[in-house]
Amino acid sequence: MLEACILATIFCGFFGIIWKQNLVMKIISMDVMSTGVVAYFVMIASRTGLFTPILDSQKNVAYADPVPQGVILTAIVIGFSIQAVMLVGVMKLSRDNPTLETNEIEKNNTP
């Protein structure tokens, strides 16, 4: 059930990127999709174990793999920086155009 909800989040973000015409809504849809992907990684990483791999007196405990955790942190940082760069690009584009609809921007900028 959790996997279905996460995949629905990814698909909502994907179809939002395709169907929305406003550039800000496209950026938000991309953020929703990346959040779903990160949640999927977290779900996959938690299947092997929930305990931190630190030296402890307990033996034969299912430890969580630290590699996906590093990948998740890297994906969050890269996603945030890409979102910031896209928002700056939209801000610069909004100075020249009265609207952020992709159809109107294409009409105004085609010869």
Structure confidence by residue, pLDDT tens digits, 35-79? 999 999 888 877 777 667 676 666 777 777 778 778 888 989 999
For all residues of the chain together, what is the average pLDDT? 86
Rg (CA), the chain: 20
pTM of the model: 0.78
User: Would you put residue 8 in left (φ > 0), alpha (ψ -120 to 50) or beta?
Assistant: alpha
pLDDT above 70 coverage of the chain, percent: 89
How far apart CA 75 and CA 70 sit, in angstroms, is 9
Judged by average pLDDT, the poorest of 32-36, 53-57, 82-86 is 53-57
Of 1.20.1440.230, 3.40.190.10, 1.10.287.3510, 3.10.20.740, which CATH number belongs to 2-109? 1.10.287.3510
In the chain, what are the domain boundaries? 2-109
Of the candidates 30, 23, 39, 16, the one whose C-alpha atom is nearest the C-alpha of residue 79 is 30
Q: Which pLDDT score is estimated for 86?
A: 94
